[in-house]
Every structure is written in C-alpha cells, then in structure tokens.
C-alpha cells in the first residue's frame, strides 16, 4: 500500500502544481495588461490636459496682443487659432477591470467630465477658427476702402448675428481658459489614485513586493502628472482685456466648479 500511495497521489500533486503554475502565469500576464491599460488611460488624460494648457496659453496671449486696448467689442478679440489638438479619447473598455469590484462611480464621473470638456474645447476651437477666418475676410475688404471706419460701421458689415456669435465664442473660450483646469486635474488624480489602489491591492503585486522588498517594487509604476512649467502657469500668462474680464464675471460659476 505504501508503495502504491506515491503512484496514486503523485499525479494529483503534479496536476495541482501545473494548475497553480498556470494560474500564476495567467495572473501575472493579466496584471501586466492591466498596468499597461492603466498607464495608457492616464497618458490620455495627461495629453488632454497638455492640449488644454496649450490652448489656454495661446488664448491668453492672443486676446492680450499688442494693439488691444481693452474696450474693443468682444467679437474683435477672436482671431483664427491653428492649434492642432490630438483628439485624445479614453478607452473605457480597457479599464473594465477597475470597475469590476470597486464600482467607484465618482471616479468615472470625473473622467467622463474631463472627456466632455475636452471634446467641447476641440469643437469650440474649430468653430472659432472657421468663424474668425470668415470675419477677417469681410473686415479686411471693408477696411481697404474705409481705413478709418468705426467699430460700429465694421460691425454692420460683418452682421449682427456673426458679431453676436463671435462675442459668445470669446466669452466661452474665456470661461474654459479660466475654469476648466480643475476638471482635468481632478480626473487625472482621481483615476490615478483608484488605479493605484486597485493594482496594489492585487495579490500578485503584494506577493511580489513581499518577495522582492526592493525600492523598484515599492515605487508606483503609474504615470505621474507634474506641475506645468512657469510659461504655462496661469499666473505667468498675460491678463485678459478688461471688457472680457467683465463679461466673464457676469457668468455664474456652477456649484461643482466652485473653488
């Protein structure tokens, strides 16, 4: 009987060891895939934020350009912009693992708000450029024959509907430039913290940390978001014209964007 026992038990032990080994390999592979998906998602949000910073810098510099006094009509402030947005979109399916267990809806809401604001920024920037190009053509042709024309006479040539739309675009761009930064930052940091907690709570990662006990394992393997350079910090950018500031102050701040 003792001689038969190894023959009976041996295959079961070997099968269990093979099964456990495959499970470990699958778990490790899945964890690496999740880590890649997490960093790609964070990189997408980071790139959206970088596009926003480029837009804000360009907008603030443009509306404060030489020759602008501050009492011009709002529609005059808007010129074509040729910023090439990356069109970054988050792949929600790749982050499915994050919501399998945590179900943290607040994180998803912040990320989705960032997506909405980014799409909105790209759309209004496109409208800005298309409209401004059309307006500039009309103004240039009119000024050739009327070099001393007043703003009122130029506005009559451009048209009331167009000047009203350009004024709304000016205020809309100012709102986004002044108030949307927190949306992108909140989305990135919320997603980063949730991914960090999810991936570090995974038993494969904890087992690896226990075995290695080295600095590389302890250090986060997720992308970080560094503060913008001085040239992109809002405090370092030119001030907006006073008439645009006044118009912006008249627009109420939604409760979820209040500081």
What does the pLDDT read at residue 102? 57
User: What's the mean pLDDT in 168-181?
Assistant: 96
Measured CA to CA, the distance from residue 181 to residue 244 in angstroms comes to 19
Query: pLDDT category, 71, cuts 50, 70, 90?
Result: confident
Query: pLDDT category, 119, cuts 50, 70, 90?
Result: very high
What does the pLDDT read at residue 209? 55
Token pair listed for 24 = 């470990």
Give 155's Cβ-side CA count (13 Å radius).
15
Give 239's Cβ-side CA count (13 Å radius).
7
Q: What pLDDT digit, counting tens, does each position of 226-259 carry?
A: 888 888 998 899 999 999 999 999 999 876 554 3
What letter would DSSP give residue 66?
T
What letter would DSSP give residue 258?
-
Query: pLDDT category, 25, cuts 50, 70, 90?
Result: very low
Q: With 80 as the cut, is the pLDDT of residue 59 above it?
A: yes
Which single residue is written with the structure tokens 């000016």? 170
């Amino acid at each position: 009987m003792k001689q038969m026992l190894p023959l009976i038990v041996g295959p079961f032990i070997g099968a269990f060891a093979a099964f456990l080994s495959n499970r470990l390999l699958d778990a490790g592979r899945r964890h690496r895939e999740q880590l890649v998906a997490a960093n790609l998602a964070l990189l997408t949000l980071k790139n959206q934020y970088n596009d926003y910073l480029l837009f804000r810098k360009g907008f603030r510099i443009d509306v404060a350009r030489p020759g602008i006094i501050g009492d011009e009509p709002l529609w005059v402030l808007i010129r074509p912009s040729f910023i090439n947005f990356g069109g970054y979109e988050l792949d929600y399916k790749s982050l499915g693992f994050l919501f399998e267990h945590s179900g943290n809806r607040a994180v998803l809401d912040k990320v989705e708000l960032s997506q909405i604001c980014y799409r909105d920024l790209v759309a209004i920037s496109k409208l800005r450029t298309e409209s401004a190009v059309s307006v500039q053509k009309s103004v240039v042709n009119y000024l050739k024959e009327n070099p001393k024309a007043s703003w009122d006479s130029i506005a009559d040539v451009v048209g009331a509907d167009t000047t009203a739309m350009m004024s709304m675009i000016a205020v809309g761009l100012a709102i986004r430039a002044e108030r949307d930064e927190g949306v992108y930052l909140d989305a990135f940091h919320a997603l980063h913290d949730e991914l960090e907690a999810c991936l570090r709570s995974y038993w494969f990662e904890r087992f690896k940390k226990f075995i290695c006990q080295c600095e590389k394992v302890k250090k986060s393997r997720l992308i970080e978001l560094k503060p913008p350079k001085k040239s992109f910090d809002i405090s370092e950018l030119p001030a907006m014209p006073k008439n645009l500031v006044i118009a912006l102050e008249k627009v109420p701040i939604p409760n979820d964007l209040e500081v």
